[in-house]
């Protein structure tokens, strides 16, 4: 019985120790335990918001995967968030332009497809010049279909722009007031292969009082195509005036962040070494010269091993900065595979006349979070030895489509505040410093308590053993 009570007492002691330790660890996860904090503001009108990660996060985080990133509310409660690639909503506009209409004639009743021997002449840019039917035709030939050359207004779409046709607006020829027909529309990009697009009815009605009702617009899901063909299923073929409606999507310019690193001497030779924050997902590199004129062929990479000069090359290029005729010419950035590294190496392939700096560029990610708890919020980072806290996106913003995520409200961020030095010791004075000292003494007291409990457990174990062997306790 005594042995059972003793074991039970020991289990209670151990459970109490674990509870105290877990409670102390949970209490320690506050903004004060991270090297840097950034204030975050929201409007308070939306449940789910996103924040573009500030440049300071990548410079101060301790892990490559941003596992030491935290979001706290005003009460110091950790908020759930998801780490995602930055999603930007495309800007959509609409435009209208007349289509070039070319009538196609065929024998009466032959309304399906283009007649045999039809000749379509185009310019180098694809614009249709003429549509010619075969010369030997009977007197009974009639209008069978219309070929449309559809060109978007303005200049050709750029790399970050897409243009799609969303509708055709038809206009009756002069002198025709009432009309009804059922039309079939095919599309093509080369005037050779045609794909069905839609079938629709159009009508224009005028009553005895002169009131007009019309259905003159054929809409369909936006899609890009250059040419269209209209044929009749019902109604008498006539030559419409036709305008095409376009949906133009402008992709937002990709945002980049960058940092410039100072050089240090590398291993024997002319290598230059650059210490870098490991959290930066480097996607492009550039060289920054100090002199007015410089040309430097070089390889950029990383040492394969700590003590080896063997270089794993990510990019080789000729970097330059020249002034000619009063204009400065500077080499651009070179793209590299996405890489996290704490050190970069530049190996010159010519005599060094300058010790250039190295520019790292990356596309910042974003966090998506629910604006719960009490605002304002605090973004904290810069703490070693902590587990990642971000969650899957569907657990933070369930049921949101990609377009909804791209249009989320953008939270605002302030300047980064450094709370601790790199070695973890506080740099703050006043109340914050006192809080750090109190936390230190709390941990010291906790460790002393753990040692005392361990001594008590050991003494109780000795007593149980002596009691079981019949020896008097010491």
- 282: three-class secondary structure by DSSP: strand
In angstroms, the CA 312 to CA 344 distance is 10
Residue predicted with more confidence, 27 or 171: 171
pLDDT at res. 250: 76
Domain covering 92-250 assigned CATH 2.60.120.260 in the classification = yes
Q: Are 417 and 37 in contact (CB under 8 A)?
A: yes
Question: In Å, how far from its chain's centre is CA 35?
Answer: 27
- 219 Ramachandran zone, left/alpha/beta (phi>0; psi -120 to 50): beta
Fold adopted by 257-362: Jelly Rolls (2.60.120)
Q: What residue has token string 């660890």?
A: 25
DSSP secondary structure code for residue 407 in this structure: T
User: Judging by DSSP bridges, how do beta strands 294-303 and 36-41 pair with one another?
Assistant: unpaired
- The Cα–Cα gap between 223 and 150 comes to 12
The answer to whether the Cα torsion of 317, 320, 324, 327 is positive or negative is: positive
Q: What is the pLDDT of residue 113?
A: 57
Instruction: Give the angle subtended at the CA of 362 by the CAs of 357 and 365, to the nearest 5°.
Output: 150
pLDDT at 92 over 60: yes
pLDDT at 375: 81
In angstroms, the Cα distances linking 86 to 19, 44, 254, 362 are 40, 21, 9, 12
**Percentage of the chain surpassing pLDDT 70?**
78
**Does pLDDT of 73 surpass 50?**
yes
260-271 burial by CB neighbour count: b if 16+ within 10 A, else e? ebebeebeeeeb
Mean pLDDT calculated for residue range 363-370? 93
Dist. CA 384–CA 389, nearest whole Å: 13
* Token output for 195: 């794909």
**Residue 4, pLDDT score:** 43
> How confident is the model over 400-446, as pLDDT tens digits?
887 788 888 999 999 999 976 444 333 333 333 434 444 555 566 66
* Rounded Cα distance, 415 and 404, in Å: 28
Whether omega for the bond prior to residue 219 falls within 30 degrees of 0, making it cis, is: no
The pLDDT score that the predictor gives to residue 367 is: 93
Contacts of 445 (CB under 8 A, 6+ apart): none
Taking 90 as the threshold, does the pLDDT of residue 71 lie above it? yes
In angstroms, rounded to a whole number, what is the distance separating the alpha carbons of residues 201 and 183?
6
Cβ atoms of residues 377 and 78 within 8 Å: no
Give residue 423's pLDDT.
40
What tokens were used for 287?
Answer: 């060289």
Q: Among the listed ranges 1-10, 204-213, 247-256, 275-284, which one has the minimum average pLDDT value?
A: 1-10
Tell me how many degrees the CA angle 234-235-237 measures, rounded to the nearest 5: 115
Predicted pLDDT at 54: 95
More confident residue, 70 or 128: 70
Residue 418 and residue 456 in contact, taking contact as beta carbons nearer than 8 Å: no
Q: What is the pLDDT of residues 15-24, one digit of tens each?
A: 555 554 444 4
Q: Which pLDDT value is given to residue 136? A: 45
Q: How confident is the model at residue 35 (pLDDT cuts 50, 70, 90)?
A: very high
Same fold, 92-250 and 257-362: yes
d(CA 225, CA 274): 50
Query: In this predicted structure, what is the pLDDT of residue 221?
Result: 93
Predicted local confidence at residue 3, as pLDDT: 44
Q: What angle do CA 354, 357, 360 make, to 5 degrees?
A: 150
What is the C-alpha to C-alpha distance for residues 272 and 381, in angstroms, rounded to an integer?
30
For helices 2-28 and 430-469, give the axis angle rounded to 10 degrees.
Answer: 170
Task: Provide the pLDDT for residue 21.
Answer: 46
In this prediction, residues 197-217 reach a mean pLDDT of: 89
Task: Work out whether strand 48-52 and strand 409-410 pair parallel, antiparallel, or are unpaired.
Answer: parallel
Tens of pLDDT, residue by residue over 303-317, are: 887 677 788 999 899
Residue tagged 């410039």 (tokens): 260
**pLDDT score for 110:** 56
Sheet containing 264-265: which strands, arranged edge to edge? 264-265, 272-275, 343-348, 294-303, 311-324, 327-330
pLDDT tens string 153-185 = 876 665 667 889 999 999 999 888 899 999 999
Residue 213 in this model has a pLDDT that exceeds 80: yes
Locate all alpha helices (DSSP H) within 168-208, ordered by sequence: none
The phi and psi torsions of 166 (rounded to 5 degrees) equal -115, -15
297: pLDDT strictly greater than 90: yes
pLDDT tens digits for range 327-348? 889 998 999 999 999 999 999 9
- Tell me the domain boundaries of the chain: 2-88+365-449, 92-250, 257-362
**Mean pLDDT across the chain:** 81
């Amino acid at each position: 019985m005594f042995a059972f009570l003793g074991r039970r007492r020991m289990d209670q002691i151990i459970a109490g120790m674990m509870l105290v330790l877990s409670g102390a660890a949970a209490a320690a996860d506050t903004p004060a335990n991270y090297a840097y904090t950034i204030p975050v503001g929201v409007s308070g009108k939306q449940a789910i918001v996103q924040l573009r990660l500030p440049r300071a996060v990548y410079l101060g985080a301790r892990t490559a995967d941003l596992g030491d990133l935290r979001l706290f509310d005003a009460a110091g409660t950790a908020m759930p968030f998801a780490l995602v690639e930055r999603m930007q909503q495309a800007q959509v506009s609409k435009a209208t332009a007349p289509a070039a209409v070319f009538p196609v004639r065929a024998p009466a009743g032959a309304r399906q497809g283009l007649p045999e021997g039809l000749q379509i002449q185009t310019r180098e840019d694809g614009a249709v010049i003429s549509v010619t039917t075969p010369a030997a035709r009977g007197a009974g030939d009639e209008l069978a279909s219309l070929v449309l050359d559809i060109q978007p207004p303005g200049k050709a779409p750029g790399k970050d722009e897409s243009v799609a046709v969303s509708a055709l607006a038809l206009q009756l020829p002069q002198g025709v007031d009432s009309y009804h027909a059922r039309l079939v529309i095919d599309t093509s990009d080369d005037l050779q292969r045609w794909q069905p697009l839609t079938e629709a009815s159009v009508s224009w009605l005028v009553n005895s009082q002169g009131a007009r009702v019309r259905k003159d617009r054929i809409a369909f899901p936006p899609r890009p195509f250059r040419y269209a063909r209209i044929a009749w299923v019902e109604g008498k073929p006539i030559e419409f005036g036709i305008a095409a409606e376009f949906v133009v999507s402008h992709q937002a310019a990709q945002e980049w962040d960058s940092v410039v690193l100072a050089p240090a001497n590398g291993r024997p030779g002319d290598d230059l070494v650059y210490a870098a924050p490991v959290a930066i997902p480097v996607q492009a590199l550039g060289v920054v010269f100090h002199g007015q004129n410089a040309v430097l062929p070089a390889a950029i990479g990383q040492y394969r091993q700590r003590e080896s000069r063997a270089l794993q090359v990510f990019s080789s290029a000729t970097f330059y900065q020249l002034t000619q005729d009063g204009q400065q010419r500077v080499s651009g950035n070179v793209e590299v595979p996405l890489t996290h590294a704490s050190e970069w190496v530049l190996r010159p392939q010519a005599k060094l006349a300058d010790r250039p700096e190295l520019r790292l560029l990356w596309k910042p990610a974003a966090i998506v979070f629910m604006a719960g708890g009490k605002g304002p919020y605090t973004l904290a980072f810069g703490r070693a030895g902590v587990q990642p806290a971000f969650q899957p996106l569907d657990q933070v913003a369930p049921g949101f489509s990609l377009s909804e995520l791209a249009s989320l409200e953008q939270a605002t961020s302030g300047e980064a505040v450094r709370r601790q030095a790199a070695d973890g010791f506080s740099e703050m004075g006043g109340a914050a410093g006192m809080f750090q000292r109190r936390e230190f003494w709390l941990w010291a007291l906790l460790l002393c308590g753990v040692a005392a409990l361990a001594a008590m457990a050991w003494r109780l174990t000795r007593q149980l053993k002596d009691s079981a062997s019949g020896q008097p306790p010491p």
